[in-house]
Amino acid sequence: MCKLLLNCNKKKDNMGDRKRPPLMIAIMPIIVLMFLLSINILCFNDALGGANQTALIIAAVVCGIIGFLYGTKWQSIRAGILQTINTALEPILILFLIGALTGAWTVSGIIPMMIYYGIEIMHPSFLLVASVVICSIVSLATGSSWTTIATVGIAIIGIGDAFGLSKGLVAGAIISGAYFGDKMSPLSDTTNLAPAVAGTDLFTHIKYMVYTTRPAWIVALLIFAVIGFFHSGDSAIVSTDSIRIAIGDHFNTTPLLLLAPIILIVVIIRKTPAIPAMLIGTLLGILSAIVFQRELLEAMIVSGSYKNVYHILMQSVFGETSIATGVIEVDELLSSSGMMGMLNTIFLILSALVFGGTMEASGCLGRITEAMIVRVKSRVSLVGYTLLSGVLFNVTACDQYLSIVIPGKMLQRLYAEKGYKPEVLSRALEDSATVTSVLVPWNSCGATQAKMLGVPTLTYMPFCFFNLLSPMVNFLETIFDYKIRKIK
């Protein structure tokens, strides 16, 4: 086998003496990964428990062996892994802080208050549509799908549980709205990254995205409206009453608790970086707990579970916290795991980045993309390849930033040679790389949202209608040559 690998292709690339692996060899790590992941689906129920992490590491080892056989040195692979991990250090820190913020906002009563009033105001028939609209507005204002899902999204999941709605369905509505705002907001990092890579300006990029994003969002909204119309909430009336009573008996549900999320949104709108913003949100949660939840904190101390207020607040930030209300549904809604609960997700993200870095450094990823580029002959194949490459890099590189940067840099000149403006490229990158990252279980986005919402990626994926429709709408408009700008 080794002799076959060495003799399959003698063509050298532009990186020293390294030989370019042939296509059939370059895709072997992906085949191994998909095979192991399919077995894990049959054997394990928990995608974050360690099985998928191990599968990614094994696939990375296979890729590394191919790289060694074709002349890639360990130093190059190591540098590739470290460089890839470096791109995700900030998201990993944000992930820790999201765990801390969620725990603090649970003990402070902010999330319980949102659930309490949400159950009173909302109705199962329009909860899904309201979820899309609310998350779209919050994400547009903050420029962050992660922040939207970690705050408003968690509360909506609780409301959906109370109404007896499928968690996957509710999570799909939350993610559809959150990623619409993330994609269209001038404050979003990906919305700034895509035009920078493609070579256009931010507002030209946003205006041009309207042609594909608006129809995808409207169709998704209509689908959720139809599903909600046929959902009956009668079976959940008793449950919602008991949940509201349990929350009201244990928490001070004053609307003043909304001050914390409002301040956080204002802080983010004023372009405060994500890490300081998350820290501010966590501190606001702790302060709200001290000011508004004194009776709850005293009851938790009297029960013997905690020593003092400091113990409760620190535990909520870094570890597991449970509030016993006597209602099982409420106890499940109000349990949090803090920063420690994010460790398995971070383990998955790091394992995925090791695989992505090895794929890139060994030349396997480049070989696969080169094989696709040579088939670009027309407008449809050019944009279609861009959309496909965004998805492919989300699966293999496991990070949405790499899924934007690598294809964008690789295709920028090709778009110019074919006579298309850079906003055609930047829009295709956003319509694929940005919105599909959350649909891949081992991608940093997919792993994070699954953990925050408590819903496996493959469970909510079929209901992320906006994310699924975005690349389809782009491709259809490309086929009909609608709003495809050319260089005059």
Q: Given pLDDT bands bounded at 50, 70 and 90, which one contains residue 91?
A: confident
* Alpha helix segments (H runs only) across 44-166: 51-69, 74-87, 89-107, 110-121, 124-142, 145-148, 154-163
pLDDT of residue 7: 44
Lowest mean pLDDT among 60-74, 133-147, 398-412: 398-412
pLDDT of residue 213: 93
Phi, psi (degrees; rounded to nearest 5) at 485: -80, 135
Q: Given pLDDT bands bounded at 50, 70 and 90, which one contains residue 285?
A: very high
Residue 412 · residue 197 · CB < 8 Å? yes
**Residue 235 DSSP one-character state:** G
- The answer, yes or no, to whether residue 13 has pLDDT greater than 70, is no
- The answer, yes or no, to whether residue 369 has pLDDT greater than 80, is no
pLDDT of residue 5: 39
Largest CA distance in the chain: 75
pLDDT of residue 6: 40
Residue 135 · residue 152 · CB < 8 Å? yes
- The answer, yes or no, to whether residue 287 has pLDDT greater than 90, is yes
pLDDT of residue 370: 79
Residue 10, class by beta-carbon neighbours within 10 Å (0-12 exposed, 13-18 middle, 19+ buried)? exposed
Taken as a whole, the chain contains a residue count of 488
- pLDDT tens string 198-230: 888 888 898 899 999 999 999 999 999 999 888
- pLDDT tens string 425-472: 999 999 999 999 999 988 888 888 888 888 988 899 999 999 999 999
- The answer, yes or no, to whether residue 11 has pLDDT greater than 50, is no
As a whole number, mean pLDDT of residues 260-273 equals 83
As a whole number, mean pLDDT of residues 310-331 equals 83
- The answer, yes or no, to whether residue 4 has pLDDT greater than 80, is no
- The answer, yes or no, to whether residue 120 has pLDDT greater than 80, is no
